[in-house]
Every structure is written in structure tokens, then in C-alpha cells.
Structure 1
Amino acid sequence: MLELSDPARITAGIVLLTVVGVESGGFFLLKVFGGRLVTTDLQKSFYRAGHAHAGVLVILGLLCVLLAEATNLTGFAHWLAATGVLWAAILMPAGFFLSAMGEGRTTPGRAVVLLPVGATVLAAGVVMLAVGLLLG
């Protein structure tokens, strides 16, 4: 049986609860693509991308929490390996959704800056986890 530290167990439990939020995003997309909400092409694309990134990164983030438990990383390195992808799962979807908000928006808003920030955190987290796993 896999033994999780208390922080990993609590983090995983909280993250699993966020799936309900991702699920409500799917309901929102049904409204958008069902024509019940008037949106621009940019908004449709960004809302779809935000929802997809949230779902995929939450699942990958849960895996990273588990895999980080198998490393000898400590301190910030362990925290980044375990939660970097989860932070990206917040930052990147927020960048997509927030930068597309506003009636008739056809160009991304300022929140689009969250996309490269999230991508950087994502890369840092997976590289740190890979290094931790490879070094044992």
C-alpha cells in the first residue's frame, strides 16, 4: 500500500474536490457551444482551452503529488515537484478565462500574462519531479 505523508494526502483530497469546479466549467461550455451565451470566436477558443487545461493539469497534478512522495527531495524542491503542476492548473486556466472575459472581446485581456507564468511553473514542476525521480 502506498503511504502518503499528511500534506500529500490533504493536498490530494482538496484537489479531488476541485474536480467539481472543472465539471461546472463543462456545464458553462455547454451553454457557450449550445448558443445560450453570446460569445466571440476568441472567447469560445479561450474558454475551451481553459477548461481543457484545468482538467488535464489537475489529473497530472494529482499524479505529481503521488510521485513526489517517491523522491528524496526536501524543502522547496519537494514542494515544487509536488505542487508545481497544480499551481499551473490554477494559473493557466485563469489566464484563458480571465483574458477572454468581457462582452464582445476579440483580443485577449491583460490576464493573458498568466499563460506564460503558468507554463513556466508547469515546466519547473515537472523538471524538478523528473530530477527527483531520476536521482532516487
Structure 2
Amino acid sequence: MSPASMSTAGVLLVTVTGVGFGGLTLLNAILRKVPGYLDNPVRRGLWRAGHAHAGVLVLFSLVALLYIDQADLSDGMRSLTRTLIVAAPILMPLGFFLSVVRPSDTKPNRLILLTVLGGVCLAAGTMILGISLL
């Protein structure tokens, strides 16, 4: 594994603790019946989606790092691909969480567009990686 992928993997592994903390926070909101979570289906749904996307995309990014180093790409394209794929587990959950920050929010604000940006990064990064591996 290249040094760049190794350090990126280290950062991603550290974020797993944050994902776990997020899960405990959601569990706490459910068990303690925190106002603005259980009684707000939009917020509840988006926060669950944010937590799920964070966990899955961090794992996906860790696996993708192994393939990036094996791909037939220039160093610059490897860096771009690594950045695009790692941006997804940051941007998508942020969009879900920050779009309904206040317990009274009944519809997402414009920050929900971060999920779209994260999806575009993920799609671009995986397309570059996939094509380079063929």
C-alpha cells in the first residue's frame, strides 16, 4: 500500500470512532425519547441515513484504497481518485445531518445538496477507478 493510501486509511479508521459515537447518540435519542428526534420523522430519517451512509462509505473507501494503488493511473489521477472516493463518506453524511440541525426542522435546508455533491464525488471516483482496472 502506498504511503498516501496508508495515511488516508489511518484517517478513515479513526473516523470509525466518530461513526460509532453517532450511533450511540442516535440510540440515546431513542432510549431517552429526546424531543425533536422520535417525534420528527424527517429529522429521524435523515439522521439515520447519515449514520448508515457514513458507516458503509467509510468501509467502501477503505477497500477502494487497496484497488487505487493497483490501478493503471498516474500519480495525479491516483490522488484525484483517492480524494473523490474519500470525499463521499464526509460530504454525504454531513448533508444528511446538517440539513436538519434544529429539532424543529420539518424539511431539509440547502445543505442537503452536500449529499448530491458526495454522490457525484463517489460516482466520479468509482468510475475512474473501475475503468482504470479494466
Counterparts of residues 35-114 of structure 1 (less than 5 Å): 35-38=32-35, 39=37, 40-114=40-114
Matched, 1:16 2:13: yes
TM-score (norm 2): 0.92
Matched residue SS, 1:105: coil
Counterpart contact for 2:43–2:103, Cα < 8 Å: no
- Counterpart of 1:116 in structure 2 is 116
Q: Which amino acid aligns with 1:18?
A: T
Q: Percent identity?
A: 39
RMSD, aligned CA? 1.2
TM-score (norm 1): 0.91
Please list every run of at least 4 consecutive aligned residues from structure 1 whose deviation after the TM superposition is greater than 6 angstroms.
Answer: none
* 1:6-31 superposed Cα distances (whole Å, 9 cap, x missing partner): 11111111110110000001001102
Report the Cα offset of residue 54 of structure 1. 0.2
Matched residue SS, 2:14: helix
- Counterpart of 1:25 in structure 2 is 22
Matched residue SS, 2:98: helix
**Structure 2 residues not aligned, in runs of 5+:** none
Give the Cα–Cα distance (whole angstroms) in 2 for the partners of residues 100 and 82 of structure 1.
29
